[in-house]
Amino acid sequence: MEEKDLINKLKEIKEKEDVSAIKKELQSFVEAINNIKEDVIGYEYDDKALTINKTTLCIYLNNMLEQSSKERVDFYYDRLIKALTEVKTSKYNDINLNRWKEYDDILTDSLWIIDQRDKNASHSGDYWGNFVPQIPNQLLKRYTKAGEWVLDPFLGSGTTLIEAALLGRNGIGIELQEHVAKIAKERVEAIQPTETKSEIVLENSQAIELDKVLKQLNIKKVQFVLMHPPYWDIIQFSKHKSDLSNNETLDDFLDAFGQVIDNTTQYLEKGRFAAVVIGDKYEKGEWIPLGFYTMQEFLKRGFKLKSIIVKNFDETKGKRNQRNLWKYRALSGGFYLFKHEYIYVFQKK
Ligand SMILES: C[S@@+](CC[C@H](N)C(=O)[O-])C[C@H]1O[C@@H](n2cnc3c(N)ncnc32)[C@H](O)[C@@H]1O
């Protein structure tokens, strides 16, 4: 089959008089498609060279084959033609809803089991307390379009901005520690494609005057905010007073987190999304649900809760070596060992 022929061939098949003739043609067409070695099939439409996954195309064709009336065959035919010729996206991502079956890589369930850290580009797992690149990767694909701006007020080693650049999104990252901001900058610069911009600011997210940063970048708003704050005092990131990991009490931590929400999400475009990645902690034999408390800070401010995702959580190396000891502690102390963290997704009303 010639590349440009896909749509013409489909039109020809549809013009057959009765269902059995259509099905006969379809059957041999599916066989011809299956014999193509490549996983992706190229075709032309409107003078543009386009592609469709072989498996997806076969699903559509088989849908048509399964129908017994001409109307039903036509229904699936129209769907396939739409998928091949029209792009339908929502206001906040580039996912072509007419081709939704092809997005095998995009998660839509609320349980994320991610076993292997993605090690592509300049990512590295060496920053204690960083998240796996798959988290920003998934969220950016769901909640931003290419060319839009994402803000990460707890940048750390730069994972969000690296993913943003790889996906053609622009990024602003705020980080309190100088040497950490420097690492992030080096990693982002190592992959920065020319068509995206990344701005890393050494500042306190509670107090930064973001309007000035945005003005310099010639933008008024951002389209997505991703927060990965310290899980209160589980890891002390620095000795800075304004480091959220140095808050004395839970209330202080939540107040500080609330200030970051106020200070950053006022620049989030209405109707767009913010996400928080956080885990819980234990203190004196009591489970402290940091996740739910931080969620509450968003809800108090009128955000709409869109999802609570539970993600598996890798044991730290230290804990892995002492697995038996921890099992004993859990059994004797009446608690369960942490194996998950949360990703909360909110929409600004
Ligand atoms: C959980 S880590 C983020 C890790 C990041 N997602 C990554 O993949 O590398 C939290 C970061 O927030 C920074 N931080 C803590 N308090 C801050 C504040 N008030 N303003 C800006 N950054 C802060 C810490 O220095 C730390 O690097």
Ligand 1 pocket residue status of 273, Cβ below 6 Å: no
**Model's pTM, two decimal places?**
0.91
Closest residue CA from atom 18 of ligand 1: 204
Task: Give yes or no for residue 156 CB within 6 A of ligand 1.
Answer: yes
pLDDT class of 324 with cuts at 50, 70, 90: confident
- Check pLDDT > 70 for residue 74: yes
Residue of 127, 128, 176 to mutate, ligand 1, most atoms within 8 A of C-beta? 176
pLDDT in tens, 200-238: 999 999 999 999 999 999 999 999 999 999 999 999 999
Pocket flag, ligand 1, residue 124 (CB < 6 Å): no
Whether 4 has a pLDDT exceeding 90, the answer reads no
pLDDT at residue 315 in the model = 66
Instruction: Provide the pLDDT confidence category of residue 319 given band limits of 50, 70 and 90.
Output: low
92 pLDDT higher than 80? yes
Three-state helix/strand/coil letters over the chain: CCCCHHHHHHHHHHCCCCHHHHHHHHHHHHHHHHCCCCCEEEEEECCEEEEEEHHHHHHHHHHHHCCCCHHHHHHHHHHHHHHHHCCCCCCCCCCCHHHHHHCCCCCCCCEECCCCCCCCCCCCCCCCCCCCCHHHHHHHHHHCCCCCEEEECCCCCCHHHHHHHHCCCEEEEEECCHHHHHHHHHHHHHHCCCCCCEEEEECCCCCCCHHHHHHHCCCCCEEEEEECCCCCCCCCCCCCCCCHHHCCCHHHHHHHHHHHHHHHHCCEEEEEEEEEEECCEEECCEEECHHHHHHHHHHHCCCEEEEEEEEECCCCHHHHHCHHHHHHHHHHHCCCCCCEEEEEEEECC
The atom of ligand 1 lying closest to the CA of 243 is 16
| CB of 228 sitting under 6 A from ligand 1 | yes
pLDDT-based confidence at residue 101 (cuts at 50, 70, 90): confident
pLDDT confidence band for 187 (50 / 70 / 90): very high
Per-residue model confidence (pLDDT) at position 3: 54
State pLDDT tens for residues 249-305: 999 999 999 999 999 999 999 999 999 999 999 999 899 999 999 999 999 999 999
